[in-house]
A and B are shown apart, each in its own frame.
Chain A
Amino acid sequence: MKWLEELGANIIELVAQMGRMTVFLLRCICNLLIPPYNLSHIMQQIHFIGAASVFVIIFTGAFTGMVLGLQGYYSLSQFGSEAALGSAVGLSLIRELGPVLTALMVTGRAGSAICAEIGIMRNSEQIDALECMAIDPFRYLMVPKFLAGIICLPLLTSIFDVVGILGGFVVGVNLLGVNEGSYFHGMYKSVVWKDIYMGLVKSLCFGILIIWICASKGFFLHLEKSGGFGAEGVSRATTSAVVLSSVSILVWDYLITSMML
C-alpha cells in the first residue's frame, strides 16, 4: 500500500504545484497591467534576455538555414523542383523552426539563469527582505522579466528567421547553384502575412511561457517536495525549469499550430 500512498502524495504535490504556478502567473499578469513600470529594470532585462542572446540566435539561425538549404535542395532536386527551395526554407523557418528554436535557445541561455537567480534570492531570504520592505517581489522582480520576454522573443525570432533565410540562400544559391531570383521569388509568393503572424504569436506565447516556468520554479524553490535548499536545490530547480520549459514549448507549438491553421 506504500506505493499507493506515494502515488497519492505525488498527485497532491503536482496539483498544488500547478495551483501555485497558476496563481503566480495571474499575479504577474495583474502587475503587468498596472503602470508605472521601472524602465531601467526593464532595459536591464531586455539586455540580458534579448541583446545578450543575439549572437547565439544568429549562430543557430545561420546553421539551421544552411542545413535546411542542403536538405531541401537534395529532397526537391529528386522531383526537379529546386526552384521551390526558397519557399521551403522560408515557410519552415517562419512558421516553425524560427519561433521554436529561438525559444529553446533563450530557455537554455536566459531561462536557466532566471531560475537560478530567483532561486538563490529565495534561499538567501532576499525575497523575504523585499516583502518586509513592503516592495512587491512580483512588481520588482517579475514584471521587468515578463515585459522583456514579451518584447525580446518576437524580435529574436525575427532575427533568427532573417539569418536562417540568408543561410539557406548561401548554401542553396552560392554553393548548390539554385537561381537567385527563383529562391526569393518563390519565398515571396508562398509566404503570406498569416505565416509571419503565426510565427510572431508563437514567439510571444513562448516568451511568456519561458519566464513563467523558469521564474516560478525559482520563486517556489523552498516549497519543492524534493527539498529546495542549498546549491543542489537550485541546481535541481534549474534543470527542472529548463526541461519543463522545453517540453512546454513543443506542446504549445503543436496546440497553437492546430488552432491557427
Chain B
Amino acid sequence: MIIRLEGVEKSFGTQKVLNGIDLSIPEGRTTVIVGASGQGKSVLIKHMLGLLRADCGRVLVNGLDIAAMNKKQLKETRTKFGVLFQGAALFDSITVFDNVALPLRERTHMTKIQIRKKVLEKLSLLDLDGVDQKYPAQLSGGMKKRVGLARALVLEPRIVFLDEPTTGLDVKRSQEIYRLFHRTQAQFGYTAVIVSHDAPKIFKLADYIALIADKKIQGCLSPEDFQLSDNPYIKAFVEETMGSIYISGTDRS
C-alpha cells in the first residue's frame, strides 16, 4: 500500500468532518473516492497531501507518518506527488508555459532548452498545442483542467491526486479529461487517487471505489463488488447514481 489512513479524525470548530477514516491506496492502481457533496472528500485528500493534519489517527505515505515528517522528508515525499486541484489552481499572473514549467524550474537543474522541450511535450500530450503563451484567464474550464493535469504530470510523479477533475465541465469535456487521464496513466503507470461525484462514469476508470458517508469510509471495493455490496450506504449510493438494476443478489431475491 502506497498510502494508508488509520483512524483519521478531523473537526473544524465544533463540526466533525472525518470520524475514524481507514483507507488503503494500492500502488499503481486507480482508487476513486466518491460520496455526496460536503462529506469530506476534499478534506480527506488534503490529509494525504499533508496540507491538513489529522486531530487523531495517522496518514502513512510509503510507511511514514506524514504528520511526523520533518521539512526535508515532507519535501521529498511531495516530489513524488502530482496534484490536479478542483479549480485547477493555476497561477493566474503567469502564462500556461510558465505554469507547467514552474516545478521544473524550482525543483530540477534542467536547462532552459530542456525545460522548454519537456513543457511543450506535456502540453502536446494533453492536446494543448499552441496555448503555451496564453494566460489561464484566457482558457476555457476544460483547458484549465488539462493545463493543471499537465503541470501535475510534468515531473512524472508516482502518485497523482485528482480532486473533482470534471467539476463544471460538460459531458464532452469530461470524457476528454477521462480519456487523457487514461492515456497518461497507461504511459506513466502512476498511482491515482481521484475524488469525484461523477458516478457511474468514473467507475470505468477505477480499480477500487471508496465511498465516504457518515464521516467514514463505508467500503473500498472493486467496481463489481461495489455495485453488489450490501452496505446500506453503498447500496443507497449505487441506487441513487445507477438506478435500481444494480442492487445486490439478496435484495433481488
The interface of chain A, by Cβ under 8 A from chain B, is 121, 124-126, 128-129, 131-135, 140
Contacts and interface: CB of A to CB of B under 8 A. Distances in A.
A258 to B, nearest CB: 39
A132 B107 contact: no
Most chain A beta-carbon neighbours within 10 Å: one of B46, B86, B106: B106
Interface string B203-218: 0000000000000000
A121 B91 CA distance: 8
Interface string B67-94: 0000000111011010101110111100
B125 interface: no
Interface of B: 46, 49-51, 74-76, 78-79, 81, 83, 85-87, 89-92, 102-103, 106-107, 151, 161
Interface of B is mostly: mixed
A140 B81 CA distance: 19
B109 to A, nearest CB: 12
A128 B83 CA distance: 10
B106 A129 contact: no
A135 B89 contact: no
Nearest to A120: B92
A103 B51 CA distance: 35
B89 A133 contact: no
Nearest to B78: A134
Given A128-B51, A140-B106, A133 B78 contact: yes
Contact of B107 (A121, A126, A128, A135): A135
Q: Which 6 A-B pairs have the closest CB atoms?
A: A129-B89, A134-B78, A125-B89, A132-B83, A134-B75, A125-B85
B85 A133 contact: no
Contact of B85 (A129, A134, A135, A140): A129
Nearest to B154: A133
Contacts of A128: 46, 49, 51, 85, 89
